[in-house]
């Protein structure tokens, strides 16, 4: 007798959980007896289900996911037990994967705005309109009147095609992506300190680490699978310690040994103080410093002694006063960092989304360079990534206004020549000057300097800071949005909306936090009339007269194969990660210069295929992306936030994510406890502040900054420190980014989402 | 109807109490404690939102929870029905 679909799914669900835990079959196991599912029926119904290997499309962890398909229809999603990143576990966002494939707001056909309304159109009409309008703007106003705004959720191949079209053929460097808003400061930190972007170590270090130093990251909610690996490491090794530096108490605190609850925007002094204590207490690795480190004040080289002098003022007491923490806790943190042999620092948006984001990244690297806790098991200065392909597609693929594929920059003549040759265009076609960074790009839209923009797989009408300033520009310009869903805040003000194939309906490569590139299989046909983004862009290229250099892109593999040529011989060499190989394995970590190379666990040291043993001459690490092989310790000022609190705006507003970070949260739960646990848009307020303001949980409060105001429910909770409020930014009906400031880090151009001055009133 | 399985990780000293509480949640069935700290849950919910809310509820309201980790999710609604209803 065949099972009902529901019984089949119940059995599949229990089997997936049992497999993940390694407890074998659910059949005959007493714990599963109450499921009352017949094994023979289940096995019979399982026939014909094909499980396709893929990667989660949410955060940057890169968890392996299997998509089950039977008769051309999705039957389920489960964690990939064979993928070492997550070993079958997923986080709550996995529930979105299912929701998104079958979402009722999938965009199924192209739309064109006619008489002010988006109406159904054919592909021919839509693509002709985009190509003719873009050509007209290019011819009339020049290439820099056009722009592309992409995404860390787009595949590497999609970003590559867009980059080739806009930088190499239209001739504008106005090519950006939303990783500018989340990872640009990490890029700036890695490139200035080490000479090349992305971490030295990998996730393998987690299981060997004895101290996790977590700065500005709510790992438990933002990267739950990594959090589980950290928590498991601590449970199995009680001597493992966890230190957190964050303005908020978060669920990550459940495993913390020490929490430095800093004033938002003032944590640089803490890191300097720890550096000073490391030196004063003899925790440094002097041989490593002698062999592999330079010092700089940011403009000129300085000596080790100059650096020590620079640190003199950063006593624990000075830092404690600056940051609002206990000086003894800074001493404890420094002692732990100095005395623990294997240390990993992990950080995320709390460090990057700051006007001092690059500086703070540099200071974190300083601690690892002073102690030599880099390039060996259990040690790294390891940036966590927010999106699934920010590293692979945008950072490695060169999808920002100053970059070219393969860790190249537009300002470098040789780099332009190499990429122009690959793209079969004259070198002078690629401009040497970086284009407009994200905030400047949307500013230029408002000013009419950019007249046409192509937006792929992202929603800037909700995510740009200081939104009120930029929304009109998005409405006024000729805006094309390629999306899988409609409406979004952005698609509903677009002139053309193009239906893009979604995850599972297309194949491609994602590159995650630990330099791992992974192939995602196509398991389903695109819904409705949706098409792969790369084909849409190539089609527009042909219609704009650039067909010769795009017509060979007849498959995703063809794009990947061209892209990896750009990485040959580079620090991020992917030439051994052919499409055929990636289809078989659970990802490869670059550099992987040949098809028989296993990938690289630690860079710049023995085991890295580009580690130059001759130049290193016995040194443990040689940073071959720096001219002399030495990384740089920077004496950076302890710069505070752009907008400090004041008498008029006395509260620090900080924004962030909660576990459900990718969609709206319409609360339809029927269980009262669940409704209570998942409220509407809210602001977290410290109990002491709430008492002073006469505010209780669920009261409406108005938050006011210099840029706008917003009314949401109060949630009085001992999470933010006194004088600070925390607002998640997910709800489209309550646009948090009306409040945030659009000041950017001068180096990375990343906005300071994490600190703004505000006042709070009972509404 | 959405059907999902989830592993709830809890501190061994709290695990019996957590299992009792989980069994009191409508549409949730537990399937034993495995390897000291892992409880397997089967959830049948009307929407993905309920799944998310449940996860948040367990994480925030239960003592001794280390995390909630989905391992499977599916709907008994057919894809073609979804596409039809979107048109």
Q: 């793209």: which residue's tokens?
A: A423
Q: What is the pLDDT of residue A104?
A: 81
DSSP notation for A665-684: ------SHHHHHHS-SSEEE
Of A392-401, A532-541, B56-65, give the lowest mean pLDDT range. B56-65
Task: Tell me which of A462 and A361 has the higher pLDDT.
Answer: A361
* Residue in chain B lying closest to A33 (CA): B31
In angstroms, the CA A521 to CA A583 distance is: 8
pTM of this structure: 0.94
Total domains in the fold of chain B: 1
CB atoms within 10 A of CB B81: 11
pLDDT at A161 > cutoff 50: yes
Q: Give the SS3 label for residue A545.
A: helix
Asked if A85 is an interface residue toward chain B (Cβ–Cβ < 8 A), one would say no
Spell out the CATH class of A651-762. Answer: mainly beta
3-state secondary structure of B36: coil
CA dist A608 and A592 (Å) reads 9
At A178-230, the pLDDT tens digits run: 999 999 999 999 999 999 999 999 999 999 999 999 999 999 988 999 999 99
For the domain that residue B70 is a member of, what is the CATH number? Answer: 3.30.70.920
User: For the ranges A420-424, A632-636, A649-653, B77-81, which has the lowest average pLDDT?
Assistant: B77-81
pLDDT at B78: 54
Residue A132 pLDDT exceeds 90: yes
Top-level class of domain A184-388: alpha beta
State whether B86 and A251 contact (CB < 8 Å): no
Inter-chain residue contact B3 with A10, CB threshold 8 Å: yes
State mean pLDDT over A611-640. 98
Rounded percentage of chain A residues whose pLDDT exceeds 70: 97
Between CA A201 and CA A381 the distance in angstroms is 8
| Tens-digit pLDDT profile for residues A330-364 | 999 999 999 999 999 999 999 999 999 999 999 99
Which residues 55-84 of A have a C-beta within 8 angstroms of B?
68, 73-79
Alpha-carbon torsion (A404, A407, A410, A413), positive or negative:
negative
Tokens 């119904």 locate to: A45
C-alpha distances out from residue B69 to A24, A88, A95, A204, B53, Å: 18, 9, 10, 21, 13
CA end-to-end distance (rounded Å), chain A: 61
Range with lowest mean pLDDT among A466-475, A669-678, A735-744: A669-678
Residue B62 structural domain: 2-86
Structure confidence at residue A674 (pLDDT): 44
Q: Is A32 on the interface with B (CB under 8 A)?
A: yes
pLDDT tens sequence across A268-284: 999 999 999 999 999 99
| Between A245 and B66, residue with greater pLDDT | A245
What order of strands is seen across the sheet that includes strand B2-10? A50-55, A64-70, A73-79, B65-75, B2-10, B38-45, B28-34
Query: ipTM of this model?
Result: 0.94
Residue A670 reports pLDDT greater than 90: no
Interface probe with A: pick from B31, B45, B63, most Cβ of A within 10 Å: B31
Does residue B82 carry a pLDDT above 50? Answer: no
Name beta bridge partners: B64. none
Q: What is the pLDDT of residues A54-77, one digit of tens each?
A: 999 889 999 999 999 988 888 889
Residue B40: which of A677, A231, A19 has the closest Cα?
A: A19
What is the β-pairing status of strands A293-296 and A631-634?
Answer: parallel
Average per-residue pLDDT in chain A? 94
User: Cβ separation of A76 and B60 shorter than 8 Å?
Assistant: no
Find the residue in B nearest to A252 (Cα): B66
| Ramachandran sector of residue A419 (left: φ over 0; alpha: ψ -120 to 50; beta: rest) | alpha
**Distance (Å) from the C-alpha of residue B1 to the closest C-alpha of chain A?**
9
pLDDT at A165 over 50: yes
**CATH fold for domain A5-101:** N-terminal domain of TfIIb (2.20.25)
Tell me which residue has tokens 């420094």: A334
Contact assignment for A17 to B7 by CB distance below 8 Å: yes
Q: For position A660, what pLDDT does the model report?
A: 52
The domain limits of chain A are: 5-101, 184-388, 651-762
pLDDT band at A750 (very low <50, low <70, confident <90, very high): very high
Q: What DSSP string runs through A329-396?
A: HHHHHHHHHHH-SSEEEEE-HHHHSSTTHHHHHHHHHHHHHHHT-SSSTT-EEEE--SSTTIIIIIII
User: Of A284-293, A549-558, A666-675, which range is least confident?
Assistant: A666-675
């Amino acid at each position: 007798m065949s099972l009902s679909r529901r019984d089949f799914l119940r059995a599949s669900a229990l089997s997936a959980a049992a497999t993940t835990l390694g407890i074998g079959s659910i059949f005959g196991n007493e714990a599963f007896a109450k499921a009352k599912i017949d094994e023979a029926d289940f096995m019979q119904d399982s026939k014909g289900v094909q499980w396709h290997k893929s990667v989660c499309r949410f955060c940057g962890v890169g968890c392996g996911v299997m998509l089950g398909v039977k008769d051309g229809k999705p039957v389920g999603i489960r964690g990939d037990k064979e993928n070492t990143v997550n070993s079958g576990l997923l986080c709550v966002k996995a529930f979105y994967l299912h929701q998104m494939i079958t979402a009722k707001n999938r965009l199924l056909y192209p739309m064109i705005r006619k008489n002010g309304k988006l109406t159904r159109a054919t592909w021919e009409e839509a693509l002709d309109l985009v190509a003719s309008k873009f050509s007209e703007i290019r011819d009339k106003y020049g290439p820099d009147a056009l722009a592309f705004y992409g995404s860390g959720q787009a595949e590497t191949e999609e970003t590559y095609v867009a980059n080739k079209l806009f930088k190499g053929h239209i001739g504008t460097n106005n090519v950006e992506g939303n990783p500018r808003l989340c990872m640009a400061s990490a890029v700036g930190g890695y490139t200035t300190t080490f000479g090349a972007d992305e971490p030295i170590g990998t996730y393998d270090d987690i299981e060997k680490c004895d101290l996790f130093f977590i700065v500005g990251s709510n790992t438990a909610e933002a990267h739950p699978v990594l959090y589980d690996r950290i928590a498991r490491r601590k449970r199995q090794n009680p001597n493992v310690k966890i230190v957190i530096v964050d303005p908020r108490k978060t669920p990550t605190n459940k495993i913390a040994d020490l929490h430095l609850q800093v004033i938002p925007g003032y944590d640089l002094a803490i890191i300097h103080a720890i550096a000073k204590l490391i030196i004063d207490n003899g925790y440094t690795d002097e041989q490593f410093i002698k062999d592999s480190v330079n010092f700089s004040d940011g403009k000129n080289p300085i000596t080790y002694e100059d650096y020590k002098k620079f640190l003199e003022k950063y006593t624990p007491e000075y830092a404690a006063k600056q940051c609002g923490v206990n000086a003894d806790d800074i001493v404890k943190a420094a002692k732990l960092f100095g005395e623990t042999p294997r240390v990993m620092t992990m950080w995320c948006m709390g460090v990057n989304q700051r006007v001092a984001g690059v500086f703070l990244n540099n200071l974190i690297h300083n601690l690892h360079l002073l102690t030599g806790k880099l390039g060996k098991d259990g040690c790294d200065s390891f940036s966590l990534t927010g999106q699934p392909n920010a590293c692979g597609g945008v950072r490695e693929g060169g999808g920002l206004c100053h970059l070219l594929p393969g860790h190249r920059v537009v300002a470098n003549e040789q780099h332009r020549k190499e990429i122009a040759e690959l793209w079969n265009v004259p070198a002078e076609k690629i401009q040497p000057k970086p284009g407009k960074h994200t905030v400047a790009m949307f500013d230029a839209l408002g000013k009419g300097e950019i007249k046409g923009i192509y937006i792929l797989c992202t929603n800037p009408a909700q995510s740009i800071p200081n939104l009120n300033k930029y929304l009109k520009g998005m409405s006024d310009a000729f805006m094309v949005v390629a999306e899988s869903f409609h409406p979004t805040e952005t698609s509903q003000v677009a002139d053309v909306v193009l239906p893009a194939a979604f995850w599972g309906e297309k194949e491609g490569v994602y590159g995650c936090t630990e330099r791992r590139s992974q192939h995602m299989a196509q398991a389903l046909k695109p819904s409705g009339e949706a098409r792969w983004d790369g084909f849409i862009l190539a089609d527009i290229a042909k219609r704009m007269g650039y067909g010769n250099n795009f017509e060979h892109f007849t498959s995703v593999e063809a794009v990947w194969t061209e892209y990896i040529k750009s990485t040959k011989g580079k620090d991020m060499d992917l030439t051994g990660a052919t499409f055929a190989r990636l289809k078989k394995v659970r990802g490869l970590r670059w550099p992987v210069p040949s098809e028989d190379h296993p990938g690289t666990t630690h860079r710049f040291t023995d085991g890295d295929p580009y580690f130059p043993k001759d130049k290193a001459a016995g040194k443990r690490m040689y940073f071959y992306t720096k001219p002399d092989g030495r990384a740089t310790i920077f004496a950076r000022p302890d710069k505070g936030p752009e907008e400090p609190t004041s008498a008029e705006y006395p509260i620090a507003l900080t924004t962030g994510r909660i576990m459900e970070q990718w969609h709206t949260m319409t609360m339809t739960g029927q269980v009262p406890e669940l409704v209570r646990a998942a409220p509407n848009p809210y602001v977290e307020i410290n109990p002491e502040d709430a008492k002073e303001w006469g505010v209780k949980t669920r009261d409406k409060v108005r938050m006011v900054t210099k840029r706008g105001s917003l009314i949401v429910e109060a949630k009085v909770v001992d999470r933010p420190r006194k004088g600070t409020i925390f607002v998640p930014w997910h709800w489209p009906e309550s646009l948090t980014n009306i409040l945030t400031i659009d000041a950017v880090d001068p180096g990375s151009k990343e906005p300071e989402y994490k600190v703004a001055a505000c006042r709070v009133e009972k509404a | 109807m959405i059907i999902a399985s989830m592993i709830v990780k809890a501190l061994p000293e709290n695990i019996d109490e957590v299992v009792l509480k989980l069994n009191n949640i409508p549409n949730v069935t537990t399937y034993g404690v495995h390897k000291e700290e892992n409880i397997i849950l089967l959830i049948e919910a009307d929407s993905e939102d309920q799944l998310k809310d449940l996860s948040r509820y367990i994480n925030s309201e239960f003592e001794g929870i280390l995390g909630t980790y989905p391992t499977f999710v599916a709907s008994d609604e057919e894809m073609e029905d979804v596409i039809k209803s979107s048109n």
